[in-house]
Chain A
């Protein structure tokens, strides 16, 4: 497993920031946000991404998205060059969009730019995956899932089903997204982004902040890993998805969309909702999302401790599901429940056990990670702690 996020350049850094309940959201400087209500985001320092160039000098010219994905893949592979995947499944929403923006602005400026062919190539969602695979010499079929903010969880779920069905023995999967002006402006236009702190599930929550990052997992059948005496970090036990046809950007307030995804995942795993010991919620801190998800959680796994880690690092869109699955694994291995930071008061009528502001010391064995996206895309992943 590998993860680069605003919480840290690797899993160890993220685990430390989670254990400290650190708020890693900072002012945006990459582009002009002066006209926007929200002016902050969870961002990855360029200095962390510079490390990508140590793997290949070409990475200096890559899009930040490619650099993030490569760093996560390097950590996940951890020197295991023998892990040649049969398939690669990666989620994203925006690809290398900053290069698409540069391409458009070239016409506005009225001057051709010799970098234009590279911008075209590198803005496409598959290019960061090709870049990272190229470093390792992988040639497996690539599946790019783009189900908005559920993409990362969908990618892990699809990879899980590929392995479980025997269609693939080794899958490299995950998600990535890098902050870009188009998407920042998009959430600003929807008035979904907040000018103050991101406060998931809080009574006074006022919206999300964006984030960025990448997480990559190596999946294989448990039996294969045990036979080869490889360390097992966690097991994926179940996956479910549903579509909420209520509205393109707003969930059905009754929570039926995420509820069906969670129920489907539980059926897939053969678990009951009462067995869930921690929920890493989608929890964007928008009024509609959190109310809908809270209703669904109260129905499916009442009493389970819940937190959203988006208060700490923002919403990384297509990467979110993969990064949050990594956080779940870190929580199971580290013996804590990540905090729901910036929480002040519970929402009236929402009966959730929020892990408010401070991590809770306990070692969850069965956890649920939710992702809900535009287009009514809902996805739920169930993870189980590995046997020692």
Chain B
């Protein structure tokens, strides 16, 4: 079943792990007794454990390979969910079920759970925004959180100084973030890949540092508190209902985002983004304005981040620079990569997993983040293309006799041109 080479490699791997984990697994210092305990048995467990896991992984890969060679070259396997979404009736059913769950969810859980879910939905939206930039246009942006911060502080400051309400600032915050997207976009138009990543990383840090240090403008690290919650036709809601209201608002925003992003990626602009990602020179030679297309991606991605920023400020009623660290950018990027670049449904699942998992792993208390990390590593080993690889829509063209260009949906929510 396993060749000798593989067994040898398994043994080597387990030895390596034993060595790596020795300081924490074997050596225990008792500071009071001033003695050191050597728990050598632990390293034995470690060795056996790693050996077994390694072989299991190999077994899985063997199976996968043999299955692939059996299936032949039938193209990428279409996942269950994609098949479900292809059939209009099943798709409708799926949407109905998801819709019902989303609507009744708050009535069966605690306020705490609703709050967590609202946060998760905010990350869905952030992920979808970044997905335009990274997944579709292929521009690696490590400072996405900057636009999120711009949106949040736009609302916080306008609310503080001018008493403007949530609904008034929502579009302003989005447009302001989009403006910042263009401001960042201009100087980096020539950059690609790693260079772009570094510049955007710097940009994200600049925004955070400005907010932290320009006390007169942003109140520095202490932040801005007492921001108004979203208004409900001028009625002040009690806390519990306000949380519920925020949740439903967020659901609505996510639906709008999905709708818009889905339409965008199947449009002339969406195709231009993907072409830009695939080959920049060919893209230009085919008559696509590189600068305009890149700026559109940057500003649109930033727009959604700005909207979520306003939402964030309204939900927590408090903003400070600590909410907009590089870690946030990294998480949003992980959502996109984990979910599957360019795939809307992937990003949704990626966000839910990445944000909800740490919450539900609380049972593991201090091993929570360790388990979280392990799950991420495993994900990337077993599904490097992300949870749901993006499947491009197939355009179908019928000859003139039917004079109808049906575009049967291969991708997630497909609204068909009637």
Q: A and B bound?
A: no
Residues of B at under 8 Å CB distance from A?
Answer: none
Residues of A at under 8 Å CB distance from B?
Answer: none
